[in-house]
Structure 1
Amino acid sequence: MDVLSDAIAAMRTGRPHSSRTARRGPWGLRFPASDGAGFHVVLQGSAWLLRPGAADPVHLGPGDVVFLAHGYGHGLADHPATPLEDFEPAPDGSWPEPADPGEITADTTLLLCGAYRLDRARAHPLLTELPEVIHIPARIGCHPQLRAAIDLLGSELAEPRPGSHAVVAGLLDTLLVYLMRTWWLSERPEGTGGWAAALRDRAVTAALQAMHGDPARPWTVEELAAEGGLSRAAFARRFAALIGRPPLAYLTWLRMTAAGRLLRETDTPLRSLAARCGYGSEFAFAKAFKREYGMAPGGYRRRTGQGPGQARRSPAPAPGRP
């Protein structure tokens, strides 16, 4: 897997939800804070994004996309002064069916909104470094894949057909990838450091792709440096400066994050799981896991209750910086 795919897989949990709704002014919606992330697309008309404590509201025109990666509460309205009505999702996170809008006229605002459930216990920096609000304005000829995913999702929600339930879920996952790819590769400000700079650095990116592609391999710093065409010392300095931790420390984080996900979601035996995560023995794996999570793998599996036939609960938070 590539870095972005791994970052999303490490956090995504549950089923995403979405809704296509029509509003006529005056209208206003207040979305509560959550552990997930959400997006809004203005298909027709316009809207204002309102954030508590923010200096200015954000105006959204036709085709504009806004992505809120950190689950902060916010409002959406036809005008900044319009009172907001609370939007309440169902206990399972699903969204209520929108009322029949009747005839769509020129003064109707059409919105496509969605939400993702995320496990933030071990959030990948690719998500934690995202700004509070990502606004992707509509521009002719820009981001065709993102626009295509939005069009397909809007069409399925407007006219459900056989198989739409599965199609919508798949399109929502696809849309999340396109939203993040669009930001990291096209929309982020030039000159930013951290992961934005890392993804522009060929040597660091090559090493990241190698680790994510085969995390079980017993990588050395020399081998990772060779992937990027650098000397060991130069690579180690550059990697730590951009990623925020040494190469092998990142590899351990990557392995342990995958191990936590497998323990929560599968009943894979610990010996097999240790091998998949790059450890030669169950003992070495258990020692590394306990150092990272503060408990033994078996205890973590029982506590999170993610094996087949067990009730799904939120995973225990992991200590330390993600």
Structure 2
Amino acid sequence: MDVLSDVLAVMRTGRARSALVAWQAPWAQEFAPVPGAAGFHVMLRGSCVLLRDGAEPVRLAEGDIVFRAHGDGHALADAPGTRPIAPACAPAPAGGPPPRAGAGATVTLCGAYELDPDLVHPLVRDLPDLIHVPAGSDPRLAAVVDHLAAELTEPGPGSDALIPALLDTMLVHLLRTCLGGRHRTGWAAALADPVTAAALHAMHREPGRNWTVAGLAATGGLSRAPFARRFTGLLGRPPLTYLTWWRMTMAAGLLRRTDLTVGAVAGRVGYGSEFAFAAAFKRRFGMPPGRYRRRPGGADQEIDR
């Protein structure tokens, strides 16, 4: 798998949710913080402002998209001074009638993705709090939005399967947009750099391989020392430190979502000794693999830097 696909497969959980919402001025709606989630708003008709504590209002025009990668609280309103009123919104679930949208109404497409807080990748953690995608800047993303809005408004046979697939496609395009900006830093820069990208893809393709720094350097055609400096400079951690973190993240996902034994999970992520694996896992998550598997839910673990 490529790195982005791998990251999404591990940290996604549950089903994405979406709704069409119609607003008639004056209107305002607060969105509470949702840890372990990422969300978006698409302006299908009209305009509004997005409000955050301590920040200037963000004006959204028809066709604009905003992506909140960290589930932080915010509000949407027709104007900065409008206070939230209830009931301000009427979601239209898949399979239900479209929202009533009279003359002058604002119509938005809202959605949210559940992420396992234990397994959120630094690629996502490093994203800005708010990403604003202006209308027309990404034709592929706009096409997905149009298709999704049409399925929500006029569902047909197979919509229950198609809508989640479109939401997943939208998430990939949103993350591509975030990673493809002109001024790349961190993970965006690392994935655009042929040397570090080659090493990252190699680690994700074969996480259980007995990698060395020299072996990873060779995947990008560089010698050991300059490769290590380049990787650490871009990602803030040495290559083998990231490899260990990724192995433990993969292991946690396998423990949560499969019936593999602890020994089988250890082998899958490159540990010949179950004891060594359990020790590494406990350093990462603060508990042995068996207890982690039995625990309902999960606490938010800060990723080692």
Tell me the TM-score normalized by structure 2. 0.92
> Which residue does 2:159 correspond to in 1?
164
For 1:132-281, list aligned pairs within 5 A. 132-139=129-136, 142-185=137-180, 188-190=181-183, 192-281=184-273
Alpha-carbon distance in structure 2 between the residues aligned to 1:87 and 1:134? 28
**Contact between 1:274 and 1:285, CA under 8 Å: does it hold in 2?**
yes
Compared CA separation, residues 23 and 6, structure 1 to 2 (3 A): same
- Equivalent pairs counted in the alignment come to 301
The reply to whether residue 321 of structure 1 matches residue 279 of structure 2 is no
Tell me what 2:105 maps to. Answer: 108
After superposition, the C-alpha distances for 1:278-309 in whole angstroms (9 at most, x for unaligned) are: 11132222222122222211121112xxxxxx
The one of 130, 133, 149 equivalent to 2:127 is 130
Matched, 1:49 2:50: yes
The one-letter code matched in structure 1 to 2:194 is R
Whole-angstrom distance in 2 between the partners of 1:268 and 1:88: 47
1:164-217 CA deviation, whole Å, 9 max, x = no partner?
1221111111111110101111xx352x43222212211001100110111111
CA contact (8 A) 1:65 1:135 kept: yes
Partner amino acid for 1:19? A
Aligned partners of 1:232, 1:257: CA distance in 2, in Å?
Answer: 26
Cα distance in 2 between the residues matched to 1:316 and 1:265: 17
Question: Partners of 1:167 and 1:158 in 2: how far apart?
Answer: 13
Residues 83 and 317 (structure 1), Cα distance of their counterparts in 2 relative to 1, 3 Å cut:
closer
Stretches of structure 2 that go unaligned for 5 or more consecutive residues are: none
2:283 corresponds to? 291
Asked if residue 121 in structure 1 is aligned to residue 115 in structure 2, the reply is: no
Q: Give the 3 Å change call, closer, same or farther, for CA 248–101 of structure 1 in structure 2.
A: closer
**Aligned-partner SS, 1:120:** coil
The separation in 2 between residues aligned to 1:172 and 1:162, in whole angstroms, is 17
- Please tell me whether the aligned partners of residues 292 and 319 of structure 1 are also in contact (alpha carbons under 8 angstroms): no
Separation of aligned partners in 2, 1:317 and 1:83:
32
Q: How much has 1:160 moved relative to structure 2?
A: 1.5
Q: Which runs of 4+ in 1 moved over 4 A?
A: 86-89, 95-100
| SS of structure 1 residue aligned to 2:66 | strand
Q: TM-score, normalising length from structure 1?
A: 0.87
Query: 8 Å contact 2:151–2:159 — kept in the other structure?
Result: yes
1:293 and 1:319 in contact (8 A); partners too = no
Gaps of 5+ in 1: 90-94, 304-312
Structure 1, 282-291 or 63-72: larger mean CA deviation = 282-291
